[in-house]
A = this chain, B = another copy of it.
Amino acid sequence: MTKKIVLRDDEMPTQWYNVVPDLPGGLQPPLDPETKQPITPEKLGRVFPMSILEQEMSTDRMIDIPEEVLDILKIWRPSPLVRATNLEKALGTKAKIFFKNEGVSPVGSHKPNSAVAQAYYNKIEGVKRITTETGAGQWGSALSFATSKFGIECKVYMVRVSFDQKPYRKSIMQTFGGTVVASPSNETNIGRSILEKMPDTPGSLGIAISEALEDAATREDTKYALGSVLNHVVLHQSIIGLEAKKQMEIAGETPDVIIGCCGGGSNFAGLAVPYVPDYLEGKKIRFVGTEPASCPSITSGVLAYDFGDVAQSTPLMYMYTLGHDFIPPGIHAGGLRYHGMAPIVSAMVREKMVEPMKLHQLECFEAGVLFAKTEGIIPAPETCHAIRGAIVEATRDLNEPKTILFNFSGHGLIDMGSYDRFYNGELHNYDYPEEEILKSMANLPKI
């Protein structure tokens, strides 16, 4: 039996798929927090290059991938589609479980798919320096790699809890030429003010975004890049699902359930959105987004206009949110510690196209260890959430012969410190942080 479907370089998609024009109910535009009116490209242009903004606003269904971007993606793409036969056997399920292995990239996750594109567009517009935030460290590594390919400087604000948990991530960014600092840091006003109030905070993606934005807004030569949430990131990640569709066709399979873990939403959406046209044509496909119970934006958040960051420096985005000043517990899936959710994924949740599934970290690590023992690849803690979701789906009814496709968003070789703590019994589950969330919800901007 075929274990793995690979594509040749020349079978790699040469266009991205933009789901926005196909989304039932459409998207609400991002608002200028000062005017409460749709934000102008000019204003966004202070931190983003124009070609990125065009993609952010685009209603074209297909967008060409530049040759220079394809050339770099080909270092590791197309990524393999693998059938998790050994996991199936261990579960005793009749379900077929496929996964798209995004762990084969230079930094070990799907993140470079967008980093390379973003670095390219910044380059052609003459940008010399890019700032960004990183949670698990994957995005910061990816952008450090991508900017090094185009001779752009890269400054990364890394959420403190991940900075401390994953010292190797810092060295990886340094190897590619990136500069990393723990966030909140002393290098920005927002960082200093938070450190003053909460010197021991684990940090959050919301804080790190604020710092990176402040840095970019105060330097002429600098733009900002975001690794998830925004439409153009989902666009760049659609290559995952476009490849997976081709590969599933070669395998002669169509997925009944598509699963991904959701932090900002980009890896899940990247796999899922190319299947939206099939869904709209009536094919029975379920989309399941898994998220940590400790940061359950699509399970327990509200759909509302909110800021993407703590300092309220982003436009207002219409998304599921727990409130922009919510700081999630220091769980080990740092990439899932985000208060909001991509507007595209939020719209799919609103339309009941996406089913949220919330999970606790211990059951996710257990799933990750089982996956490692059966399929041989140690998953990142974030990816463990997708695997647990796949296991839940595959074991609801062991005799149901359904086909599951999940996104293996990244390997966990840099996360072994977290596994150590799991083995030593030092990790525990976090209850739904109700009080915290109610507090942050009260601070939602009034529109």
Contacts and interface: CB of A to CB of B under 8 A. Distances in A.
Interface of A: 2-10, 71-72, 74-76, 82, 85-86, 104, 106, 108, 112, 145, 148-149, 167-168, 171-172, 174-177, 369, 372-373, 375-378, 413-414, 416-417, 419-420, 423
Given A9-B2, A413-B108, A413-B168, A75 B375 contact: yes
Residue from A2, A145, A176, A378 with most neighbouring chain B CB atoms (10 Å): A378
16 contacts: A4-B9, A4-B74, A71-B85, A76-B376, A104-B104, A106-B376, A108-B413, A168-B168, A168-B413, A168-B414, A171-B420, A171-B423, A172-B416, A174-B419, A175-B378, A175-B419
A76 B256 CA distance: 25
A174 B10 CA distance: 40
Contact of A8 (B6, B10, B376, B377): B6
A2 B71 CA distance: 9
A378 B74 CA distance: 16
A413 B75 contact: no
A6 B11 CA distance: 11
A82 B71 CA distance: 12
Nearest to A78: B6
B4 A75 contact: yes
Q: How many copies does the complex hold?
A: 2
Contacts of A7: 6
Contact of A172 (B145, B148, B167, B378): B378
Contacts of A108: 413
A104 B417 CA distance: 21
A104 B5 CA distance: 15
Contacts of A168: 168, 413-414, 416-417
A82 B73 CA distance: 12
Nearest 5 A/B pairs, CB to CB: A106-B376, A3-B74, A171-B416, A168-B416, A6-B6
A372 B144 CA distance: 11
A376 B6 contact: no
Contacts of A376: 72, 75-76, 106, 112, 145, 149
Given A3-B74, A172-B416, A420-B171, A377 B10 contact: no
A426 to B, nearest CB: 13
Contacts of A2: 8-10
Contacts of A106: 376-378
Contacts of A104: 104
Contact of A413 (B86, B167, B172, B423): B172
A177 B10 contact: no
Tell which of A3, A85, A172 has the most Cβ of chain B within 10 Å.
A3
A176 B372 contact: yes
A75 B175 CA distance: 29
